[in-house]
Structure 1
């Protein structure tokens, strides 16, 4: 494995700014994240979110320049189901670091098919992992791994990693949202609108300098956000205090923050925001010299496409098209099953048929594929 050696842990405070700055750029984040992982004592990192329907990763990204394609494919196809560490990470609190040597003895390792036939021959042994929250999506599992010829993580390394978990979580969320924005820009404004992203750009006085069509629509609904004296505000006072504090924090630190807003006290989150600093003069100029970018996603908004469109474009059955329509609207399989009065197993069967007919492997891929194809056609509503 690359990047071996045990030269002692470095201070990572100076890397925090680089982490956020690279997350807001088109390229370079994974390289900086690898530098952070190495500073914390790891050889490589792997981040992924798990698709329970397919029992396989939905997102799977790892250290650049590591030739892990075959290793990950073997994990997807067989060894992932045998991985004894995943349940420790999945069952831990969000942001809580889990160390495999605290749960598995040397005897466990010696008797484990996963470790003896797969993990150790692949060049890694010790795991430092955490479950990181991704708003309105599957949580991301992060594993920082070190080679079998090195000892378990030290107390100093564990303490340093614990201090970095929050920064890693926020930077990954910022990077994911930035990737989506760049992808949407490449695919065109029409697809960006179909994906339902609302974009608010704020100037240095926190006044709204730019909104896209989805953002204007969100403001008209006034469920969670509105304009107040030209500034973006949350409808409810307690949440607005949090939003304004977040905007000031991002403007001061240039570190992105994610938060969720509720339409009413006790109601589930409805609007998911990511507040980031706009890096670079060219990027700021695109948004009217704005310094803060707020991207928002709403849950339960009006359908982006109709079941009829999906049937015609992909040859879905009536039942499959209804599931696909709900999927694009952001409903979870169990949520749709309860609404439609069918079993979750039935919905999962229909999901597998959707994946097959759209030549995709996950909910995210299927939604992107369906919206991309339909965005190239004239509306038929």
Structure 2
């Protein structure tokens, strides 16, 4: 095996995780290295075996003549697929060991498709089964039977790399979709909002934040980080971001750990119009799965506010950011006014166990664990944000 050629192949395999169009390069290179006619990667429905996507490399003339028929019909009856799917992923089958001349003479796949298109021998494996689809890989040749001694050493060596590249590609597709969903949610908020990592790196900023930061000079995005114009405010902002992202809310019920997250607020003065600009720094809420959406383990939302408001807007944030129910919001309002659970029960005509159940729901949804932490979070939320307020 030529080491330089093998290293180039590995680079192409992992490049394909980013762009499926690159699989043609991988397949062309593999067809050349194995001296076969066609190398083939295809995705099929696990139940029906219908081919959903297909990529080929090798002899272009043969590919153009046979590829579409394989997708339309013959892929679903390819015996390599049924055989390899019965084995654990990564196990290669050599067709001559499973399909003898008697089988070939009676097979629609061989007689109506493979042989008329100039092929006779094949090998294949199932690489991955995920989300009700199978991802398979195969080689076809017109003259040579594939050999355990000649071909399998290379195929066995590249199989884990093929599988890993496909897994990475699936994860990248998933993250791309999640980031789009996360950005769509942030963009629905009327408040200027920036999503930051625990280091202050800007992951996403919505339209309102982009408009604000484009004209504001006391705070800006510089080298992908949110920075203040002066050292004092920069130190304060960095401390707030670290405090609000000090815990990974991977499980909302990790209350002993979640209590370490500290939402906070700071005020800086606009260099543009002299008005106070209030920044609320809060842990990324889990009610929308935003941390997962933006592929960050620890993160914060920085919300900007230059007005004064009242609890009605805090109610808006509890509802929109944390998916709190009306009953939970009513209890949160009274808690913010300083009432105890017993007093809240009397004010709302609720039994104490019911109040405590609502409080537990509030803790879980907001990632807090104590009443004081919940009050601190609500006090950190912007007092404006409703369109027209």
TM-score (norm 1): 0.43
Bigger Rg, structure 1 or 2: 2
TM-score (norm 2): 0.42
